[in-house]
Amino acid sequence: MKRREFSLSAASAATAATLGLPLATPALAQPRQFKEGKDYAKLSKPAASEAPAGKIDVIEFFWYSCPHCNTFEPSFEAWSKAAPKDLHIRRVPVAFNSSFVPQQKLYYTLEGMGKLPELHARVFRAVHVERQPLNKDELIFDWVAKQGVDVAKFKEVYASFTVANQVRKASQLQEAYQVEGVPSMGVAGRYYTDGTMAGSMQSVLQVVEYLAGLARKG
């Protein structure tokens, strides 16, 4: 889903969209060569990395309300668990306009409370299966309460400087990688790829592993 599609009306209409190719298995094909400018882009200016020494930063840019992200999530989760140990894999929620911010804050609040492993997939289910938009503060608070989370604590973290700072950094990283759509991925602060460039989200994972190989070589 591209940046230009993210009006409220277009986002609503996009719920019927599909990725074009199935993502039934995380198994990747044999490594092959990929071309800069076709399968991936090299950033003109390096983006900030949070990877520890000896690790390669790998980022999935996503939006909870994006149907493509919802479809990709199981494959990405399975791949991330089996990926090489030197990859520092993380998610970054995007904001193409201010209406996305509550879901950015939802993600970082769940992360701060240690609730992501339990509730990350449930957020996708709530939005795409149960048709709960979860795009406003009160809708999020009501949903969180039904998940057995301490709502008072959640609201405290949600409104905290820490979460506000994480949202700011996410937006800076989104701009640094010149993210035009989601799901998409950044590698080592140097490279960017998405389903349009790579041909499918399954191919994106292959491109990411190829780019990680380039990063290892320096």
Question: If we measure between CA atoms, which residue out of 71, 37, 85, 62 comes closest to residue 170?
Answer: 62
Higher-confidence residue of 116 and 7: namely 116
Is the model's pLDDT at 18 over the cut of 50?
A: no
* DSSP letter, residue 2: B
Per-residue pLDDT tens for 145-182? Answer: 999 999 999 999 999 999 999 999 999 999 999 998 99
Mean pLDDT of 108-118: 98
Rounded average pLDDT over 120-143: 98
The pLDDT-based confidence of 19 (bands split at 50, 70, 90) is very low
pLDDT, averaged across the chain: 90
Backbone angles phi, psi at 154, to 5 degrees: -60, -45
For residue 33, the model assigns a pLDDT of 82
Of 103, 96, 94, the closest CA to residue 185 belongs to: 94
Cis peptide bond N-terminal to 84, omega within 30: no
Buried b (16+ CB within 10 A) or exposed e, 97-114: eebbbbbbbbbbbbbbbe
* 66, 1 Cβ separation under 8 angstroms: yes
Residue 30: what pLDDT?
53
Q: What pTM did the predictor assign?
A: 0.87
* pLDDT exceeds 50 at position 6: no
* Structure confidence by residue, pLDDT tens digits, 37-67: 999 999 999 999 999 999 999 999 999 999 9
